[in-house]
Structure 1
C-alpha cells in the first residue's frame, strides 16, 4: 500500500513544501493538495517547488475540476511539470465542490467530467484531442509522457463513470463497508466497459489522527480535530440525497443517514478543524470515516482497507498535529503495514 499526504495550500507556501519534504522522508510517495483558487493559494505553482525539493514524491490535486481551468491549460501545466521533473504528477479530478460553489457556479456534470478526463490525459501525453470542437495537440510534449487521471466519486453514476474512464478512483472516506461497496461498483463498471478492473488504482483519503492511547479523552480530542471531514463529505452526500432521495436503493443509507441534521455550510471554514457547520456529524461517523487512535488502530484499519483492494491511503492532515501524524506514520504505521503485506 502506498501513502499520500493531503494538505491545503494555506500561506506560507514554504510550510506546505516543508511538510511534503517531511512526508517523503517518512516514506510517503504522494503529495496531494486541495485545488480551490479563491480559498487557497495556487497549487500548481507550489507543486513546482515540491518537485524541485523532493526526489520521488508524485504530486497532484485532490481534486481539480473541469470548470475552473480550461482543459488545454490543465493538460499543459501537468505536461510542463512532468517534462521538468519526470512524470511525477497525477491528476485527481471531480465535479467541483468548493472551487465551483465559492465562485457562484454549480458543480460540473458527470458527462463533462468524463470528457475532461479523456482530453486532459490525451493532451498531457502529447496526443491529439478535441476541445470545444477544435482538434488540439501540445507539439512540445516528448514521447513517454504520462498523466494518470484519478476520479473522485460517491454516487452510482459517478462510480460508474470512474470505472469507465479513469485510471484511478479516489474515495474520500475510510469506512470499510462503504469502501467495499464503492470499489465493487467501480470495478463492475470497468468490467462492463471492457476494461481491466485490476488496472484501476484505488485511493482512500481521510483524516488520520494518532493518539498516545485509546483513552476517552484522547479519542474525544481526535474526533473534534477530524469532525470537519464529515461536513465536507456531507456536501456531496446532500447532492446525492437531492438527486436520489434519502431512502433510495441507489445510495447506501450508511452514507446518507447522518446528514439529516445538516442545516447549511459556510465554505469559509471548509476543510478546517473547528468548522462550526459540522456539529451535526456524530461520533460514530467520525470513527467510521476517519482513522483515529493509537498507531496499532491505524495499522489494523489500513490492513482491512488493503484487503478490500485499496492501493493507497492518503492522510488528510488538517488538524493540530500535522508533523506528528507524518512522523508516527513514518516510524510506526507505514513499516507495520509493509510487514503485513
Structure 2
C-alpha cells in the first residue's frame, strides 16, 4: 500500500525549494512512497513536484491539488507532461474544483455548474495527455491545439480528482483514474464516496485518502492544533457534507492523532473503507519531533505493504 505525505511550506527556510527537496529526501529515507504538494500562492505545485521527483530518485510525486478554476487545461497539461518527463514517470496530477467562497473572490471567475465545468476540463486534459492534441468547444471551455502537444519522454500522466460529492464523483469515475478526497472519513468513504465512484468507474479506480495524521504522546496539544488548522473547512459546504456523513461534529474530529498503535488502527479503517493509498496531511501539527516520528512510523507501515492491507481487511 502506498503511504505518502503532503509536504508543508517551510516559511523560515532560506530557500523553500532547497528545504522541500531535503524534506522529501528525508521522507524517502524513512520509507515513505510518495510526497504531494498543494497549490498555494508562493510556489507552483506541479513545478515543485517535478523538481523534487528529479532530485529524489524513486519517490512518487503528485499535486494535491491544482484548482481547475483560474488555469486553462492546456498549460496545466503541458506542465504535467513536463513533470512526468522530469521524473521519468513518477508524477500524478491531482486537480480539484476548489470552494466557491475561495474561487470567486480570489480568481474573479464565477464558480458555476462545477460538475459540468469539471467534465469539460477533464475531457480536455484526458484527450491532450493521451493523444497530444484536442479540438474541443464546450460551454465553459474551448481548447484547440494548433500543433501537436505531446512531449517526448513524458509518458501517460495519471489523473486524480479531489471529488467527494455525487456529481463530481460520477465525472471523476468516467474521466479520471481515481480520486483524492480530503476529510472524507472511513464511514463516508465506505457508505457514500467509494460506492458512487465505483458505479461510474469502468475499472478499479484509485482512492487516495488525504488524512490529517500525527503520531504523538501529546494528544491534547495536537488536538488543539488540529482545531486551529482545520476549523476553516467546517464553513465550506462540500467539506461540511462529508463531516456530517462521518457522524462527527467538526473537521478536526477527523484528525488521526495518537501513538503508533492508535494511528495504525485508525488508518486500517480507511483501508477497510476502500482507500487504495493514504496521504498524511498536517503532520507538523505537534512540532518537528513528532513530525519525524509520524513520518518514520508511516514509512514502516508503507514498507509492510500488503501485510498492513491484509491486517486492515481482517
Specify the TM-score bucket, using the shorter chain as the normaliser: 0.7 to 0.9
The 5 Å alignment of 1:85-124 reads 85-97=87-99, 98=102, 101-107=105-111, 109-124=114-129
Q: How much does 1:49 deviate?
A: 2.4
Residue 286 of structure 1 corresponds to 252
TM-score, length of structure 2 as denominator length: 0.81
C-alpha RMSD over aligned residues:
2.8
> Which stretch shifts more, 42-51 or 231-240?
231-240
Given that 2:222 and 2:286 are in contact with CA atoms closer than 8 Å, whether structure 1 keeps it comes out as no
How much has 1:255 moved relative to structure 2? 5.4
Q: How far, CA to CA, are the matches of 1:227 and 1:137 in structure 2?
A: 50
1:77 and 2:79 correspond: yes
TM-score by length of 1: 0.75
2:220 maps to which residue? 220
Give the drift of 1:299.
Answer: 0.7
Q: Which residue of 2 aligns with 1:4?
A: 4
Q: Secondary structure at the match of 2:31?
A: coil
Shift of 1:32: 1.1
**C-alpha separation between the residues in 2 aligned to 1:224 and 1:163?**
36
Query: Structure 1 residues 57 and 101, CA, compared in 2 at 3 Å: closer, same or farther?
Result: farther
Q: Secondary structure at the match of 1:227?
A: helix
The counterpart of 1:300, out of the listed 265, 282, 285, is: 265
- Offset, 1:91: 1.0
The answer to whether the Cα contact below 8 Å between 2:225 and 2:285 also exists between their aligned partners in 1 is yes
Once the 2 structures are TM-superposed, how far is the Cα of residue 141 of structure 1 from its aligned partner? 2.0
Distance in 2, Cα, partners of 1:286 & 1:239: 11
Q: Does 1:54 align with 2:56?
A: yes
CA contact (8 A) 1:9 1:34 kept: no
Comparing 41-50 with 133-142, greater Cα deviation is found at: 133-142
Separation in 1, partners of 2:243, 2:54: 43
2:152 aligned with 1:142: yes
How far does the alpha carbon of each residue in 1:142-200 deviate from its partner, in whole angstroms, 9 at most, with x for none?
3771111111122222222222222011110252211212111211232xxxx12x2x0
Which runs of 5 or more residues in structure 1 are unaligned? 213-217, 242-250, 259-280
Q: CA deviation at 1:295?
A: 0.9
Question: Residue 245 of structure 1 aligns with which residue?
Answer: none
Supply the distance in 2 between the matched residues of 1:257 and 1:237 (Cα, whole angstroms). 15
Aligned pair in 2 of structure 1 residues 133, 74: CA closer, same or farther (>3 Å)?
closer
1:66 is matched with 68
User: Structure 1's 204 and 101: CA in aligned 2 closer, same or farther, altered over 3 A?
Assistant: farther
Deviation track 1:210-269 (CA, whole Å, cap 9, x = no partner) reads 112xxxxx222111121245434324326877xxxxxxxxx78435984xxxxxxxxxxx
In 1, the alpha carbon distance for the partners of 2:238 and 2:72 equals 27
SS in 1 for 2:157: coil
The 8 Å contact of residues 163 and 180 in structure 2, kept in 1 or not, is answered as yes
Secondary structure of the structure 2 residue equivalent to 1:49? helix
2:34 maps to 30
Higher mean displacement: 61-70 or 290-299: 61-70
